Amino acid sequence: MTMQGPFRYRNGTLYCEQVELAAIAAGAGTPCYVYSRASILERFRAYDEALAGLPHMICYAVKANSNQAVLALLAGAGAGFDIVSGGELYRVLRAGAPACRVVFSGVGKTAEEIEYALAEGIHSFNAESEEELRLIDAIAARLGVRARVALRVNPDVPAETHPYVATGRREHKFGVEVARAPEIWRRAAALPNLALEGLSCHIGSQLLDPQPLLAAAAVMLELARTIRRAGFSVRTLDLGGGLGVAYRAEEASPDPAAFARAIREQLAREDLFLILEPGRSIVAQAGVLLTRVLYRKRTGSKEFVVVDAAMNDLIRPALYQSHHEIWPLRQSARPEIIADVVGPVCETGDYLARDRRLANALPGDLLAIATAGAYAFVAASNYNSRPRPPEVLVEGDRWRIVRARETYEDLVRGEAP
């Protein structure tokens, strides 16, 4: 089996960095998320170092994994942050990151969120419509500040990914059309409380082929030139996130450093400050979801492995039919089986793997659901009144709980009988 990231077998048992995962399961219980500090840092630095020499800021997309420990780690490494809500701004500031390294994306920012971000002094907004530009201008006027803004444009390039996470075509809700961008820019430039600084785009997520991202960059560069020719200054170019990771053992993961070098070459002579917003490609491979086998059962011709993690903990298979490799914590000589791996939630859609060849795991055995550092815990819910799992950070030969397992008391907090 090809292993990825910081997870390796030693003498038949699975480790994260220098920590045996079974020790974490014993100490923190299951289900439980585990992240590798070294892996997160390595991927962030791959981007950052490949862009050395080009003025840039890597704004980690907080939505991918917003744990305080993860944000503090990245803030310490010099990352900026891409946020899409007031809640994410709060998390980033709470983790000790400076507001001046925050960009605010998203198609539906509320007046309260805009005011909060302006009062904290964020780097810039990626504005998605003329109405939003006018609202930011009005709030900035009231606060007596100038709001730095980039215009989010939809470069209309096809990108192969799951339809739910493709964002860069004309029919999607994100950004303004390329053809209309110069005119919108001209009107926005006349708004007195805006400092219109640049252009932004984000064409989709989980792109295993970086080519569409480079094609989008070319469209954006051309647009920047058009706007400059009209007499305006365009200082920043934000190309969003989107670089994918290998979820299947047989897939190859695109290399963030190689991708960043390609972007650097494209922008080498452009006099632009580059912003990237990678999320998944920094944290996905750094995490696993640990789970314990509860039961084995057979119905008709189907074999089921019933585990204690479920769709409420990791919704990606149910929502996007996404594939996550499943690794046994202890390798065994038993022949592999073909089975569905399912959770306790009362829905047929509650599965983590379907018709999967995997280790012949018996009740009590531990499994790691791979590539679960991104869009996993952040999308967990309490469905079926299941407390959300704890999150653990591994640092070399040590590990610590960076979010406690929720309790039954947490489940009813704020409710009134």
Query: Which residues are known catalytic residues?
Result: 346
Minimum distance, C-beta of residue 266 to ligand LLP, in the bound complex (Å) = 18
Minimum distance, C-beta of residue 374 to ligand LLP, in the bound complex (Å) = 6
Q: Where are the beta strands (DSSP E) in 172-269?
A: 176-177, 194-200, 236-238
Minimum distance, C-beta of residue 167 to ligand LLP, in the bound complex (Å) = 6
CB 54 within 8 A of CB 270: no
Q: How far apart are CA 12 and CA 191, in angstroms?
A: 64
Residues in binding contact with ligand LLP, number by CB under 6 A: 20
Interface with ligand LLP, residue 323, by CB under 6 A: no
Binding mask 213-252 vs ligand LLP (x if CB under 6 A, - otherwise)? ---------------------------xxxx---------
Interface with ligand LLP, residue 359, by CB under 6 A: no
Minimum distance, C-beta of residue 246 to ligand LLP, in the bound complex (Å) = 14
Sequence-distant (6+) residues with CB within 8 A of 378 are 63, 64, 65, 66
Minimum distance, C-beta of residue 417 to ligand LLP, in the bound complex (Å) = 35
Q: Which lies closer to ligand LLP via its Cβ, residue 173 or residue 357? A: 173
CB 307 within 8 A of CB 293: yes
Interface with ligand LLP, residue 175, by CB under 6 A: no
Q: Which lies closer to ligand LLP via its Cβ, residue 19 or residue 276? A: 276
**Contact range with ligand LLP by CB under 6 A, out of 24-32, 198-206, 262-270, 289-297:** 198-206
Q: Which lies closer to ligand LLP via its Cβ, residue 47 or residue 399? A: 47
β-pairing, 398-403 vs 391-395, is: antiparallel
DSSP secondary structure string for all residues of 38-70: HHHHHHHHHHHHHTTTS-EEEEEEGGG---HHH
Minimum distance, C-beta of residue 221 to ligand LLP, in the bound complex (Å) = 19
CA distances from 13 to 32, 194, 327, 342 (A): 18, 57, 10, 23
CB 82 within 8 A of CB 97: no
Tokens of 10: 């030693």
- In the window 292-321, what residues touch ligand LLP (CB under 6 A)? 316, 320
Q: Which lies closer to ligand LLP via its Cβ, residue 82 or residue 88? A: 82
Q: Which lies closer to ligand LLP via its Cβ, residue 36 or residue 205? A: 205
CB 232 within 8 A of CB 185: yes
- In the window 100-129, what residues touch ligand LLP (CB under 6 A)? 105
CB 73 within 8 A of CB 140: no
Interface with ligand LLP, residue 82, by CB under 6 A: yes
Minimum distance, C-beta of residue 106 to ligand LLP, in the bound complex (Å) = 7
Sequence-distant (6+) residues with CB within 8 A of 180 are none
**Contact range with ligand LLP by CB under 6 A, out of 8-16, 44-52, 139-147, 274-282:** 274-282
Contact residue for ligand LLP among 21, 46, 57, 61 (CB under 6 A): 61
Contact residue for ligand LLP among 6, 31, 168, 279 (CB under 6 A): 279
Contact residue for ligand LLP among 123, 202, 356, 386 (CB under 6 A): 202
- In the window 123-162, what residues touch ligand LLP (CB under 6 A)? none
Three-class DSSP category at 82? strand
**Residues in a beta bridge with 7:** 16
**Closest among 297, 309, 293, 299 to 361, alpha carbons compared:** 293
Residue listed under structure tokens 């998390």: 91
Residue number closest to ligand LLP, CB atom: 241
Contact residue for ligand LLP among 4, 154, 206, 236 (CB under 6 A): 206
Interface with ligand LLP, residue 281, by CB under 6 A: yes
Determine the straight-line distance between the first and last CA of the chain, rounded to whole angstroms: 51
CB 118 within 8 A of CB 147: yes
**Contact range with ligand LLP by CB under 6 A, out of 11-19, 272-280, 290-298, 323-331:** 272-280
Sequence-distant (6+) residues with CB within 8 A of 39 are 5, 6, 285, 286, 373
Residue listed under structure tokens 């994994």: 65
Q: How far apart are CA 44 and CA 296, in angstroms?
A: 40
Residue listed under structure tokens 């679960």: 372
Binding site for ligand LLP (CB under 6 A): 61, 64, 82, 105, 165, 202, 205-206, 240-243, 277-281, 316, 320, 375
